[in-house]
Every structure is written in structure tokens, then in C-alpha cells.
Amino acid sequence: MPKEETGLSLDGQGKPLWVSLELTYRCPLKCSWCNNPLDFEDYGSRELTTEEWKQALREVRELGALQLGFTGGEPLLREDLEELVAYADSLGFYTNLITSGIGLTEERLLALKAAGLKHVQLSLQATKGELTDALVGARAHALKLEAARLIKAHNFPMVLNVPIFRQNIGEVDAMIEWAVALGIEYIEFANIQYYNWALMNRDELMPSLEQIKAAEAVVNAWRAKLGNTMTIYFVIPDYYEGRPKACMNGWGAIHLTLAPDGVAMPCQEARVIPGLEFISVRDQPLGWIWHESPLFRKYRGLDWLPEPCSSCSEKEKDFGGCRCQALLLTGDAGNTDPACSRSPLHGVVRDAVAVSEKPLRFRKPLVKRSAGAVSTAFMEA
């Protein structure tokens, strides 16, 4: 399988090129592959206020960032979303809304457009209503389709984000056909990464290699048919590639995430790593956190790399892979990402893949993202 490439190696020159503002972890959906923390409900009372988010936006802009995404959870649950979009626009940001579409009425969309919103990324899981609703644990399909129609009717550039796993990988052809009919310019089929809720459900979610090959063939056929009229991005899971992805283009290189409580992180998953000090913008200037904090300096660059990464000719391509994945699969965030076939711990990935290839398996129910679904003992294990 060819590896999906952008052809670009981004150098932020010490600046965060992309900033994710996780305004809230609240969400009306219960997706079993969510990358929000397992204890997401504990953050509700600690969300930054409107004025605190505005201060964070000023500090992010001073760092040189130009593009940001309002995300969550579901960012539409923040009543001040339009105010924050308008403020970000006044600072010169290119603003993106990353949404499930639930709560995106025409009135709200027009208000966001008036505020300066430039781009929308909408998630959709299937073309079949019963499948979408079963996967997200809510009656959401019709609302998502209406959100997509409104986004295009009001001439927003749009990315359709389709998380891919065993249950919906057969929807690729129908999804592209539907997107073409609506006039969507960009569709991303993102084979999910296995963190947090997705890791808990990995055995049930992971597609087989044959399923991925079949879906990729469908994508390539549509690419040939459509030419430049639509960009179709198909992200192959690194469990099958033999090499890890350059996670966030390297730790603390170009990406900055701000959690609902203002904690700044190199990626949205970093909080799973024990022993690191996570600092909120309430407590320290963001410029210091980005440039000087032990958290952002911990795995930045190449000097920290262990063997076999430190002597690998590909280290400047993948930067040792994902620290969170290394932690979750091997118990040590400093290890080589086990998705790499050169890792001495690659066996844990081979074992996971072997489970997905078994034709007859006992089907376990997916653990839905919901308050209290995971015990404290599990999270501390």
C-alpha cells in the first residue's frame, strides 16, 4: 500500500502553525472512538471563561500563529462561540469550526459567518441514518445532513471528515458519491488512531488489511474519475504501514492544543503521559509555555531519540513517531513508537493486527463515550 503523503515538510520556525482550541469536552454524541479524555466530565467546571479565551487568543497570535480550529467536544455548546470567532477574526486568524453539526442551525451559521468564520469541518460517519445513529449513540444523522446542506448553501469551504473503522469502512463509495452530489470540495477518510476511547474499543473497531485495501481501491477509482474537482484524502492507519506518522510534525514543532481548562499541550492526547507537568494559560504566559516549559521541550527535536531511532535515516521524517502511542502500547513514552517495524516492541502492534484479522470473533459491545462509562480504577491502571 502506498503511504499517503502531502509532499511537504513543514517548518514552523519555532511558531505554532496550527492551534486547536478545545473549548469544551461537552458533546451530545457518545462516539466510541472519541479522542477526548476518559474522564472528560471532570473538566466541565474548569472551562476557560470568554475573557480567558480572548487572552489566550492574544497570546497565541503573539506567538505568530495564523490558523486555528474551534473544536471540542462540540464547540457549538459554547454560547460565546460567535464572540470568540469574531475576536479571533479581529486578530487576523483564519478560523475553522470543527463540528459534529449538532446544533448548527441556519441562524447560528449565519451568525458565525458574520463573525468572520472562514471554514467548516463536519464529521459524518455513514450515508445510512440507522448506522450513523447507532455509531454516535444519538439521533444525529438527519441533523448532520442538514448541517452539510447549510454549510454548502452558504458557500463555506468545507472538509467532510469521515472517521473510518470496521463498522463503516464499506461506506466509502457511497460517501464519496453523496459528497460529489452536494459539491463538497474535500473529504478526509481518517482511519482512526487508537487513543483513549478508541484504544479501549480497538479490537472491535480496527478494520482488517483486506478491508483497508478494498477501501483504498475505491478511493483511487474516484480520484481518477473526479480529477481535481475534489480532494480525497485516505489516511492509512500506521498499524499497517510499518512506519509511524510524523505525529504533529514533531512534538512541540508546529502544533499547539489548548484544553478546556487552558492547559497547553503539544497534541490533544499528551495528557495521558504521566510524570509531565501540564500548565494552564491561567498560570503562566503562553509564550513561556511554548518556548521554555519542560513539557514542550521534553520530546522536541531529535536529540532525545532512543535507539534505533537516533541512528535511523528516517528520523527526520517521523521524529520517532507518537509519544502518546508509545506510552499507551509499551508503558514508556520515551520508547520508539511500536508502529514502526524497526521498533524492538513492534510485536504489540502485530498482535493487535492479528486480532483484527481473525474471521470469527466474539463481538463485544462498544464502550460508548458517556459519563461514568469508565471506572477510576481503569483510568489509573
Give pLDDT tens digits for 60-71: 999 999 999 999
| CB 141 within 8 Å of CB 129 | yes
Spatial distance between the Cα atoms of 29 and 90, rounded to a whole number of angstroms: 32
- Torsion sign across C-alpha atoms 306, 312, 316, 318: negative
Spatial distance between the Cα atoms of 262 and 278, rounded to a whole number of angstroms: 10
pLDDT computed for residue 109 by the predictor: 98
Grid-cell match 504521566, residue found: 274
pLDDT computed for residue 10 by the predictor: 54
Grid-cell match 527526520, residue found: 316
Q: Which domains does the chain have, with CATH numbers?
A: 18-240 (3.20.20.70)
pLDDT computed for residue 333 by the predictor: 95
Angle between helices 106-115 and 81-90 (to 10 degrees): 20
Question: Residues annotated in the binding site for [4Fe-4S] cluster, as ranges?
Answer: 27, 31, 34
Beta partners for residue 256, in sequence order: 19
Q: Which amino acid does the sequence have at 174? A: A
pLDDT computed for residue 249 by the predictor: 87
Question: DSSP alpha helices (H): ranges in 304-381?
Answer: 315-318, 323-330, 347-357, 376-380
Identify which of 267, 336, 266, 280 has the alpha carbon closest to the alpha carbon of residue 308.
336
pLDDT computed for residue 2 by the predictor: 38
- Which segments within 61-107 are labelled E, that is strand? 67-71, 94-99
CA distances from 362 to 137, 204, 369 (A): 22, 9, 21
pLDDT computed for residue 326 by the predictor: 94
Give pLDDT tens digits for 288-318: 999 999 999 999 999 999 999 999 999 999 9
Beta partners for residue 234, in sequence order: 189
| CB 115 within 8 Å of CB 92 | no
pLDDT below 70 — which residues of the chain?
1-12, 359-363, 374-381
pLDDT computed for residue 8 by the predictor: 41
Interstrand relation of 264-265 and 186-191 (parallel, antiparallel or unpaired):
unpaired
Question: Residues annotated in the binding site, as ranges?
Answer: 27, 31, 34
